[in-house]
């Protein structure tokens, strides 16, 4: 993921949001290796959310021990599709979701939230948001939302090398969507 963060060229105005942040690894990584304004993760399950809290304590302690700073971050234990998190979705400039195993109902809820993102906002996923067409190109139209003017441009990014993400040893593709309302 570090290589993806580098490629995205995150800056001090960026806010990173991980929808389904597990034990908080990416939220903390973004806060450590990028100059972003803020990093936020929302995790629904008790066990990873508890581990994330524990990691957060260690992360802060170790960094302060070695005199290293990190950008502000927040780990929330909740369902990221609740209406109150629309604010986080709107504020985020980079939204990440490791949605490989997200069920269709969850994806429908998330897509409805993504409609509120402004132009230029970027969304990174591990599973396509929209099916690819026959040529392999995808321009996603959020049809089920009656918002035909909402377009997302898709680009496939490859995470190169072994162990580039924590959840698998294999190199995997990421899908980068940019909100681009014409």
Ligand X SMILES: C[S@@+](CC[C@H](N)C(=O)[O-])C[C@H]1O[C@@H](n2cnc3c(N)ncnc32)[C@H](O)[C@@H]1O
Please give the residue ranges that form the binding site for ligand X (CB under 6 A).
Answer: 18, 20-22, 25-26, 42-45, 48, 79-81, 98, 106, 166-167
Using the minimum distance from each CB to ligand X, give the nearer residue, 58 or 167: 167
Using the minimum distance from each CB to ligand X, give the nearer residue, 124 or 152: 124
CB of 27 to ligand X, least distance (A): 8
Q: Angle 63-58-162 (CA atoms, 0-180°, nearest 5)?
A: 80
Using the minimum distance from each CB to ligand X, give the nearer residue, 25 or 39: 25
Using the minimum distance from each CB to ligand X, give the nearer residue, 166 or 180: 166
Q: What are phi and psi of 91, to 5 degrees?
A: -80, -25
Q: How far apart, in whole angstroms, are the C-alpha atoms of residue 112 and residue 107?
A: 9
CB of 133 to ligand X, least distance (A): 27
CB of 16 to ligand X, least distance (A): 11
Please give the residue whose beta carbon sits closest to ligand X in the complex: 20
Nearest CA among 24, 37, 121, 39 for reference residue 73: 39
Output the CA–CA distances (angstroms, integers) from residue 169 to 10, 123, 126, 149, 160, in the order listed. 25, 23, 15, 39, 11
CB of 47 to ligand X, least distance (A): 9
Q: What are phi and psi of 53, to 5 degrees?
A: -60, -40
């Amino acid at each position: 993921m570090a290589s993806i963060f580098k490629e995205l060229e995150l800056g001090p105005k960026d806010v990173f949001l991980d929808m389904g942040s597990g034990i908080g690894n990416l939220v903390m990584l973004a806060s450590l290796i990028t100059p972003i304004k803020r990093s936020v993760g929302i995790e629904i399950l008790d066990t990873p959310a508890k581990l994330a809290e524990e990691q957060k304590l260690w992360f802060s302690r170790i960094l302060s021990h070695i005199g290293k700073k990190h950008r502000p971050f927040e780990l929330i234990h909740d369902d990221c599709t609740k209406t109150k998190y629309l604010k986080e979705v709107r504020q985020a400039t980079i939204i990440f979701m490791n949605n490989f195993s997200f069920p269709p109902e969850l994806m429908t809820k998330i897509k409805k939230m993504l409609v509120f993102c402004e132009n230029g906002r970027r969304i990174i996923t591990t599973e396509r948001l929209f099916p690819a067409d026959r040529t392999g190109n995808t321009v996603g139209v959020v049809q089920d939302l009656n918002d035909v003017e909402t377009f997302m441009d898709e680009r496939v990014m490859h995470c190169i090398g072994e162990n580039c993400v924590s959840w698998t040893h294999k190199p995997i593709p990421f899908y980068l969507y940019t909100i681009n309302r014409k």
